A and B are shown apart, each in its own frame.
Chain A
Amino acid sequence: MKRPQLHVSASPHLHSGITVNCIMRDFILALLPAVFAGWFYFGWRALLVLIISIAAAMATELLWDKLVGRPVGLRNGSAIFTGLVLGLLLSNQVPWWIPVVGALVAIVAGKELFGGLGNHPFNSSLVGWAFLAISYKDILENYPTPEPKFLLEAGEFLVDPAIYALKDGGVDAIIDVPWKDFVLGNVPGEIGTICVIAILLGGAYLLYRRVLTWHIPISFIATVWVFGYVTSIVDPDTYASGTFHVLGGWTLFAAFFLAPEFGTAPVTFGGKIAYGIGCGLLTMIIRIWGTYNEGVPFAILLMNSVTPLLDKIRPRVVGRVKEIA
């Protein structure tokens, strides 16, 4: 009988079946609750911003691949993820060209210039966002009050995002906001960052699927909480509580969807913990004493830059001769 040609490769001859596409699909699925919340509070315009942002990101990646002569194709869905995250960080009031510019910068300067997914030093969505925040500050900071589609009444304790209110008005400005509003997301803010429940749902999904490990999100959130708790004990009239700092603003969204981005975060156990703590500390320092309102984005970008250092906190190698003898 004629024998077939045999396929030859190095071992192993099995694979878990989990590919980059699967991971990106999981990330996008995990963001869907936040997308839903965005529509629920901010209406169809919010979805339009997201769609423009995703489309612009995909188009940029396609064009870039053509330009540099890489095999064209949205190879792994990472452009969708970057575009989606960027869109979720914007207000639904931005003009159409804002997400386009943001996505362009995010994909080109944030990712492709460095060789694509996994090789970029800074969180790609945040690079796009930071560019917008610095260039078009006033256009970005136009946050409407949410108008829930059904069931809820519009939350009316705040007219600005909670962190902004805290900065401008001190603790008194936010002390009366019911926790319920934070948890449900019934406060002014960006499309994707306001609804705590939606974000936690997505985060739990990522942890359950083991796409992410717990280290970065938990150490990040815990640090923010502890920092807030300690400062508010020291001086409750000046500083908001730890719970406020966790629930208000970008903390939770960033802990699950920004800080752990592959390529920009450390991969070792110790590195991840240190990174999470660093993100938390910087967030709080900027929020409390910095000039920016929201400390999260610049905290993450700063920590991204020390990721290679943090990766030096290595696991113990098994079988090192010197240590044994």
Chain B
Amino acid sequence: MRNGKKPKGIPLDSSIITVPKPLGSDVKPKKLVLPLHNRWGMLKLLVRPGKDVSRGQLLAEDERGVAPPVYSPCDGKVLGVRAWSNFAGEEVPAIILQCSGSTVQEHAQKDTGAWKKTDPHTLVKKVQKAGIRETDAYVWPLAWRLAQPGLPPTEIPNGPDISRPIEYLIVNALDRQPGVTIRESALSGRETEIAEAISLLEHISGTRNTILAVRKGQPISDSLERELRQRGIKVRMCPPVYPIALEPILVQYITGREIALPHGDARAVGVTVVDILTALRVYRSIRDNSPAFSSPLQLTIHGSENDYQTWIPEGILVSELLEQLQFNYSNAAKLILGGPLLGFAQHTFDVPITAEVDNIIIQAKPDVFIYENNSCINCGYCVKVCPMGLMPNELSRLCEYENFEAAERQFLFHCIECGLCAYICPARRPMVQLMRFGKREIGKLREASQEQ
């Protein structure tokens, strides 16, 4: 049992990080599972089961043009649509594809620079069409957050408010959680690509104020620094403490502006945050004029003794990825998609990896933390660590005793589920679970009252 000093937040540059090994770059999945549902809605299937499809073919899209569409990452055949557990553990309809042939194209293409002459509105439409899913829980898809005032990629009723120009474009190269290093490694070795990607976003958003957020103490190569300086992109060092990289906190740290919660729309205060990995995917997609169907992934098995980084085709099952590593299942006790503090534990290895997931963790039995239904001892540690200024002790009790209205009055919906309260709670209470329970029940109550 460790009993170290209690940090305010959790250090991000923990020494547990080893040099990640690359995973065999030529991933050849036999089967891909592509969920048809995400946080912005349900996609409509455009191909019939049994049909052959080719690489890059549009498989499903949102009729309203909001949710990112789904493309086929490989040549193959549509086996059907079935309910399947997604990265967050929800059962959603998903396309099952049988693959023939390879998927990922890692060799970089030459940049013709055509995008520099294309107007931002056309580009923003391309971003919308590229099928880009992101790791953070942003309120609106990337295309809307990047769109210039009055020029949304598609017209939607009650769409986001984009009347305000983008005053700050924050490109987030901070890894979000302890032990995740994928953004940091993405910065080295592809300096020009990174700089071009940021320039592209700047071009689309029409902002003059672009900031690359990196971890304080992170080495930045001279060539990258030069590239950035030439383009007038500022670099901002951020304290290496979780949860600095989460949108509301990062925006407040860098710009001093506060995003109105619970909606959490940064665009409304003139700020757009884009993950560096997303920036790279956008850039590649526009440069190669192809949808984005591969995404970077870090796979951490049993602590960090085995840490892999690779680009995978979206929709590959965890089990298939592990098969390629000849993974020995015998010690695995917990599978987590999405990082140690924000991720979702899975009940099966047959879960597809989509671009919402940047990190997969497999924990062995001794590493699995077990929550207990203990009562709160009112130590107040959680109050001290909550980045949103909430009182998690009280909120968790209100949710536990199903006093949801009171919880809502105490700003339950301002909780960003960062997990720090549960991380610190000495009574081992399942804090985030209680918060989510409260939010879900309130949602249900609202729906019920609207139906009446």
The yes or no answer to B79 lying at the interface (CB within 8 A) is no
Are A213's CB and B342's CB within 8 A? no
**Residues 1 to 28 of chain B near chain A (Cβ within 8 Å):** 1-6, 10
- Contact residues in A for B237 (Cβ distance below 8 Å): none
Are A6's CB and B330's CB within 8 A? no
Chain B residue with Cβ nearest A12: B419
With A115-B375, A317-B411 known as contacts, the answer to whether A6 contacts B388 (CB < 8 A) is no
Are B391's CB and A11's CB within 8 A? no
Q: A318: which of B319, B330, B388 is its contact (CB, 8 Å)?
A: B388
- Contact residues in B for A169 (Cβ distance below 8 Å): none
Are B178's CB and A267's CB within 8 A? no
Chain B residue with Cβ nearest A316: B389
Are A319's CB and B419's CB within 8 A? no
- Contact residues in B for A12 (Cβ distance below 8 Å): 340-342, 419-420, 422-423, 432
Chain B residue with Cβ nearest A25: B3
A232 to chain B, nearest CB (A): 35
Are A6's CB and B389's CB within 8 A? no
The yes or no answer to A1 lying at the interface (CB within 8 A) is yes
Are B419's CB and A11's CB within 8 A? yes
B448 to chain A, nearest CB (A): 24
What's the tally of chain B residues with a CB closer than 8 Å to chain A? 76
Are A317's CB and B361's CB within 8 A? no
Chain A residue with Cβ nearest B391: A314
With A6-B335, A17-B2, A263-B378 known as contacts, the answer to whether A11 contacts B261 (CB < 8 A) is no
Are A17's CB and B4's CB within 8 A? yes
The yes or no answer to B384 lying at the interface (CB within 8 A) is yes
The yes or no answer to A325 lying at the interface (CB within 8 A) is yes
What is the CA–CA distance of A250 and B1 in the complex, to the nearest angstrom? 35
Are A319's CB and B261's CB within 8 A? yes
Q: A18: which of B332, B389, B426, B433 is its contact (CB, 8 Å)?
A: B426
What is the CA–CA distance of A22 and B394 in the complex, to the nearest angstrom? 23
- Contact residues in A for B376 (Cβ distance below 8 Å): 118
**Residues 378 to 407 of chain B near chain A (Cβ within 8 Å):** 378-380, 383-384, 386-391, 393-394
> Which segment of B103-111, B211-219, B252-260, B304-312 sits at the interface?
B252-260
Q: Determine the main DSSP class of B at the interface with A.
A: loop
The yes or no answer to A210 lying at the interface (CB within 8 A) is yes
The yes or no answer to A180 lying at the interface (CB within 8 A) is no
What is the CA–CA distance of A7 and B191 in the complex, to the nearest angstrom? 41
**Residues 202 to 225 of chain B near chain A (Cβ within 8 Å):** none
Are A22's CB and B371's CB within 8 A? no
Q: A14: which of B369, B374, B391 is its contact (CB, 8 Å)?
A: B369
Chain A residue with Cβ nearest B363: A13
- Contact residues in B for A23 (Cβ distance below 8 Å): 379, 426
**Residues 1 to 48 of chain A near chain B (Cβ within 8 Å):** 1-4, 6-20, 22-23
Are B260's CB and A325's CB within 8 A? yes
Are A268's CB and B391's CB within 8 A? yes
Chain B residue with Cβ nearest A261: B378
What is the CA–CA distance of A114 and B77 in the complex, to the nearest angstrom? 64
Chain A residue with Cβ nearest B371: A9
- Contact residues in A for B369 (Cβ distance below 8 Å): 9, 13-15
B347 to chain A, nearest CB (A): 5
Chain B residue with Cβ nearest A10: B433
- Interface residues as binary, B343-360 with A (CB distance below 8 Å gives 1, 0 otherwise): 111111100000000000
What is the CA–CA distance of A246 and B269 in the complex, to the nearest angstrom? 51
Are B259's CB and A19's CB within 8 A? no
- Interface residues as binary, B320-335 with A (CB distance below 8 Å gives 1, 0 otherwise): 0000000011111111
Are A267's CB and B388's CB within 8 A? no
- Contact residues in B for A262 (Cβ distance below 8 Å): 377-380
The yes or no answer to A116 lying at the interface (CB within 8 A) is yes
Chain A residue with Cβ nearest B257: A324
- Contact residues in B for A67 (Cβ distance below 8 Å): none
A310 to chain B, nearest CB (A): 12
Chain B residue with Cβ nearest A315: B389
B396 to chain A, nearest CB (A): 12
- Interface residues as binary, B414-445 with A (CB distance below 8 Å gives 1, 0 otherwise): 10010110111011101011001000000000
Are B389's CB and A318's CB within 8 A? yes
Contact surface of A with B, Cβ cutoff 8 Å? 1-4, 6-20, 22-23, 115-119, 209-210, 213, 262-263, 265-268, 272, 311, 314-321, 324-325
Beyond the given pairs A10-B436, A18-B3, A267-B380, 10 more chain A to chain B contacts, judged by CB atoms under 8 angstroms and listed by A's residue number, are: A1-B329, A4-B331, A6-B334, A11-B432, A12-B422, A17-B1, A18-B2, A267-B379, A272-B380, A317-B414
12 A-B pairs (CB sep. < 8 Å): A4-B333, A8-B346, A9-B430, A10-B430, A19-B426, A117-B375, A118-B378, A262-B380, A267-B378, A319-B261, A320-B414, A324-B258
Please give me the 9 A-B residue pairs with the lowest Cβ-Cβ distance, nearest first. Answer: A267-B380, A319-B261, A118-B377, A12-B419, A10-B433, A17-B2, A12-B341, A315-B389, A263-B378
